[in-house]
Amino acid sequence: MFKIRGFTLLFVFAWVINVSCYSVSERKNHAEGNISQDKREAVLYRGQLWSATYDNNREVTNVFIPYTVKLGGWFSGLDYSDEQTIKEAASVIAKHTCIRFVERKDEKDYIEFYEDSNNVCESYIGKKGGKQLLSLGSGCKNRGHVTHELMHALGFFHEHTRPDRDKFVKILWDNIKRDHYKQFEIRKRGVTTLGQPYDFQSIMHYSNKEFSKNDKDTIQALSDPNMPLGNVNSLSAVDVLQINLLYNCPEALRQVINYEVTVYTGDKYLAGTDGQVFIELFGQNAVGQLRNSGEEELAGKKSAFEMRSVDRFNVISPNLGKLIKLTVRLTDRGYGGAWYLDKIQVQNRKRRVNVSFPCFCWFGGSSDTKILEPSP
């Protein structure tokens, strides 16, 4: 930790910044490129953090990151729907942190989003300086994957490569495609976890079968081999904490926890939906006070909420105490708007919360909201 003109430099893992200027390349699955760095050079190089604005007390107020989108339409380049997805991903980060992605005016340092013709999803780690390219292949043009790439641009590596990972997960090398071994190597130099817990649910963590050659697990939690790992759809509470610590955001003082929300779509004919799904959790603390998470859209992969699908999300919220109900709202978005929901499971492993909210019901119409209560 270093203090420079009132700014605290926190170099964390995967969570993790402290890098020289290189990019992370991801093709279909998450993959990181070759990386070589010197510990001293990385830790002392403040320029890889995006610049902050300060109040009169030299406390950080915001970090503004300018960006442009290279539009090309149907035949080449990103389109306006991709631009909207980028804005949605940026708003997810802004909701819980002091990070603000803003359209570029004439700033020298900025990110340019473009579509890579080879279907590569690629981002530099941290700030490179000048125009900084961030490519979105066809496989990552959704809110969750764009959020993942923005995390790289902020300065974070993949969670499962942090130095202490072998205390928490097991790598099943025999199941990994040989040309992707490097994506599972530990980063030992120039990094620190800042004492923060290993985050199984991070948007920067690989899923259980990432780069599998035989459809078997490539990575498992030591505490529970069946635990689903990673979350391609949404930030976790620890992701948010690490951003706020890294950039010294005032939001770092907020106390929030992570609720893992698993949505089970039914197997009835036309059960899937193309509509937008929103959720709000409600709880009651030990003295009877009612609390709520605020309504949040569950968005990520374009294949979410299809018939028989099981989709996982993180809802970041203050501790709600005992969960007493939740609301689910479906907003029709054209053809395929109706939806048959089996149930929603809400879990917080640290506090041993695991509550099922059965539905087994149809949603329909231009907007439909239902209140679900816990099963007995």
Long-range CB contact pairs, 176-184, < 8 A, 24+ = 176/211, 176/212, 176/213, 176/218, 177/211, 177/212, 177/213, 178/213, 180/29, 180/31, 180/211, 182/32, 182/34, 183/30, 183/31, 183/32, 183/158, 183/210, 183/211, 184/160, 184/211, 184/218, 184/219
- Residue of 149, 159, 280, 296 marked active site: 149
Burial class (CB in 10 A: 0-12, 13-18, 19+), 98: buried
**What contacts 95, CB < 8 A, 6 or more positions away?**
none
The response to whether 205 counts as a known ligand-binding position is: no
Closest CA to 325 of 362, 376, 373, 363: 373
Q: 257 vs 60, 194, 289, 294, CA distance in Å? A: 23, 18, 18, 14
Tell me the C-alpha distance between 108 and 129, whole Å: 8
Tell me the C-alpha distance between 271 and 123, whole Å: 36
The response to whether 96 counts as a known ligand-binding position is: no
Cβ atoms of residues 277 and 369 within 8 Å:
no
Residue with tokens 């699955």: 29
Helices (H), 251-376: none
| Active-site residue flag, 59 | no
The response to whether 180 counts as a known ligand-binding position is: no
| Residues in the annotated binding site | 148, 152, 158
| Residues in the annotated binding site for Zn(2+) | 148, 152, 158
Active site residues: 149
